[in-house]
Structure 1
Amino acid sequence: MIVEIQVLPLGTGSPSVSEYVAEAVKVLRDKGLNFKVTPMATVFEIDNFSQISDVLDEIRKRMEARGIKRVVFVIRIDYRSDKELKMDRKVESVMKRIRD
């Protein structure tokens, strides 16, 4: 399963949110998940839906520890039951078609 997430902390007092995004990405790193940070969101791979809940709860806790009382999570999930999804394979599939 591939998940795309945006973590939008509200009430930071600054238009810059990179320190909060970095903290959210550290959650993925600390959980040993394969992830890729992009300019607008972070994409990561998980095995099951319960892992999403664990990730979100840990991000929420870390935001609260930094004094953030409100966080908007924007999440997209790509799930397939017929085969395992991997970020690199999806990208390579598109790039191969571009090269052809």
Structure 2
Amino acid sequence: MAQKKTKNSFLVLTTSFVGGLAAGLLLAPKNGARNRAWLAERIGELSNWVDDQRKSVQHLGKQEVHKFHQHIQQGIHQNVPDLYHATAKIDLSDQKLNGE
């Protein structure tokens, strides 16, 4: 239910934005060439901003995955015994293994 409401809200927001942009361009006092140049500049700025946000989120995501990986390794080292050290003091000579 909440996901459908979010989708509907996003659809209304997007439709309102596009409608407002179209009305603004049609009713603007500037000529078409100036409007297109202004719009191209703003779209370039928006594209740069989106790219910066993507890079930031990607970097933060990598940091979070690294932290998660470290916590998993710590948990394993704390809760699972190291079998090499746990069996180091056991005498496993050939005589003992053969029952002699």
Would you say same fold, with TM above 0.5? Answer: no
Shorter-chain TM range is: under 0.3
Q: Which structure would you say has the larger Rg?
A: 2
Report which of the two has the higher share of strand. 1
Give the TM-score of the pair, scaled to structure 1. 0.26
Give the TM-score of the pair, scaled to structure 2. 0.26
